[in-house]
Amino acid sequence: MTRYPVPDELVPWEVEFPGYNPPLYNAERSDRGTYDPNTEMEQKSRKYNFTDGLYDFRSWCGTYTVKDGLPLNPMGRTGLRGVGSLRWFGPNHSLHPVLTRCSTGSASGPKQKASKNMLEVLVVRRRENELWSLPGGTLDPGQQIPIKLQALLQRTYLSEFLALLGSGTEVFRGYLDDPRNTDNAWIETLAVNVHLDKKENLDNLIQNLKESDDDITLRVATPGP
């Protein structure tokens, strides 16, 4: 889908953009359940900026504008109307744990024999795009752990993992600049750092990680400079 070109200076909604007429795009998805973007556009009865049943349409960016029954992206024009390839109109909330540990390894160099602590982070690669990323994903209505993250963990470990998240440190909460965002739907993410400084927490996590799915590869990586 080709987006309507939007110059940087015309991105804000407050700036007039005569003739702005972006294409409408509502992609087919099998994971929306009973939520139908086309029906939503016709009924226009959702309580945006509030919770509506299990759906949470509140934005971490604050109150956003609703025009003609549909929310407007708080960051401005994107050149595309509709829900796009996202799941629903308004904020699509996601959760990404940043799971870190300190690993003691040998320092590099022939004269450096002392050990040093290196910060490592758990990342995941999916066959669908072959890109390494933090584990996590979009939160389904009423969920606390994304389905993509649940797929990496043993079911019996989920409650313990939630407790770990609760003890973690929030490092980011807000709008995610993502190519899937549209004028009416966008991604917001919460990133929580859980530093596994206790051996028992680290051991439990490792023991409860699953690699049975051929589409998923797990790895502990050292962040670059």
Q: Phi, psi at residue 47, to the nearest 5°?
A: -90, 75
User: Other CB atoms closer than 10 Å to residue 14's CB: what's the count?
Assistant: 6
Whether the pLDDT of residue 32 is over 70: the answer is yes
Give pLDDT tens digits for 75-124: 999 999 999 999 999 999 999 999 888 876 544 444 444 456 788 888 88
Token pair 């699953």 in the structure block, residue: 210
Mean pLDDT computed over 51-65: 96
Question: How sure is the predictor about 193, in pLDDT bands with cuts at 50, 70 and 90?
Answer: very high
Average pLDDT, the chain: 87
Mean pLDDT of the region 40-65: 94
Cβ contact 44:68 at 8 Å: yes
Tokens of 177: 């600049």
Q: Count how many residues are written for the chain.
A: 225
**What pLDDT, on the 0 to 100 scale, is given for residue 215?**
55
The pLDDT of residue 194 is 92
Backbone angles phi, psi at 89, to 5 degrees: -70, 155
* pLDDT reading at 212 higher than 70: no
Amino acid at 204: N
Residue 224: the pLDDT is 65
- The confidence score (pLDDT) of residue 107 equals 46
- How is the chain split into domains, by residue range? 95-172+190-221
Q: Could you give the angle at which helices 199-207 and 158-166 cross, rounded to 10 degrees?
A: 140
- Predicted TM-score (pTM) of this structure: 0.84
For residue 77, give the nearest of 65, 88, 86, 68 by alpha carbon: 65
Helices (H), ranges, 97-156: 147-150
Note whether 54 and 142 are within 8 A (CB): yes
